[in-house]
Amino acid sequence: MAFIVLLLSYNNTAIAKHSEYNPLDYGLTSARNGEERFWALYHTHELAKKNNSIVSYKGIDSLEIDIPLNAPSIPLSSYTDFCGLVLTIVCNHNNYVLFELTQNVKEIPINKASVDSGIYKEYPALAKGLYLLQLSDENLWVKQRVGFDYGHKRMDVVLVKNGKSKNKTVFPYNNKGTNLIAKYCKVTSERKQFKNITFRRKPGNTKVASLILVNNQYNVNLDNISILTPRDTLYGDQAIIVVNSCVVNFNNIRIDGTYSRLDAYGYGITMNNVYSVT
């Protein structure tokens, strides 16, 4: 019980009575193949997220899972400790993201002058509490990228606390050339943890499996992660993806190989529209 009390204090959030979930208790021991092992992990994390609880892989040294056809990404709660797990991925159906720490956003009408001032107290949805505000300009910032057949739209992500932004946009929005679109979501101040895993892509995979997507999040810690990728002709890697998020900390990350080629592309870490990444 003392262990649970410490975790409650650390996360500063209400945790359900069943405060820790482990795949060993949710079908992993009886799973007969890689796909069944995948679903055991999926249901464990699904329950943990529903109950705002911890996931621990204590007692599991290594696993090999096979990603089913059209499988959904595994949803994450705010605290996942893989406890040194070596997780081998077989991915042959479609490109795939294994874990996701994400939430939806809602569109909100915002005056361009409010964006430049950083004051949002006139909007009831943003006046009290902690929010991420996604800002984008529907007019192209760059009409055509050099060497590519498409343009680029600018984006910003702003942390709003009690109706006041904690950071500024890169460039003003209050001008005739900007067509502003704003979306928001509520966030919590607790630190979200994802740690202590070795993610191994199995040789011979025909599709790219990414480890994690972090989307619409605040205060995330990615710690003690190793990603091992064999030499291959695959490309287009995004081993770790972080988008539309504020205050993300990478600590002790090792990426040994990616799915990439000299004539193509591939990334160990992909980031877009982020603020305060360490």
65-120 per-position pLDDT tens digit: 999 999 999 999 999 999 999 999 999 999 999 999 999 999 999 999 999 999 99
Q: CA dist 80 to 45, 59, 100, Å?
A: 9, 14, 12
Tokens 């592309």, residue? 265
In this prediction, residues 188-216 reach a mean pLDDT of: 98
pLDDT of residue 165: 97
Residue 16 has pLDDT above 50, yes or no: no
Pick from 100, 18, 11, 23: nearest CA to 57: 23
Residue 186 has pLDDT above 50, yes or no: yes
What's the mean pLDDT when you consider all of the chain?
93
Residue 10 has pLDDT above 50, yes or no: no
pLDDT of residue 82: 98
pLDDT, one tens digit per residue, over 254-276 is 999 999 999 999 999 999 999 99
Query: Nearest 5°: phi and psi at 202?
Result: -75, 135
Q: How confident is the model at residue 18 (pLDDT cuts 50, 70, 90)?
A: low
pLDDT of residue 19: 83
The span from the CA of 240 to the CA of 222, in Å, is: 10
pLDDT of residue 147: 82
In this prediction, residues 193-200 reach a mean pLDDT of: 98
Q: What residues pair up with 249 in beta bridges, in sequence order? A: 221
The span from the CA of 69 to the CA of 35, in Å, is: 10
pLDDT of residue 154: 94
Kindly report the number of other CB atoms within 10 A of residue 194's CB atom.
24
Copy the structure tokens of residue 263. Answer: 């004539």
Is the Cβ–Cβ distance between 157 and 135 less than 8 Å?
Answer: yes
The span from the CA of 45 to the CA of 53, in Å, is: 9
Residue 227 has pLDDT above 70, yes or no: yes
Phi-psi region of 135 (alpha: psi -120 to 50; beta: other; left: phi over 0): beta
Pick from 107, 102, 162: nearest CA to 134: 107
Q: How confident is the model at residue 12 (pLDDT cuts 50, 70, 90)?
A: very low
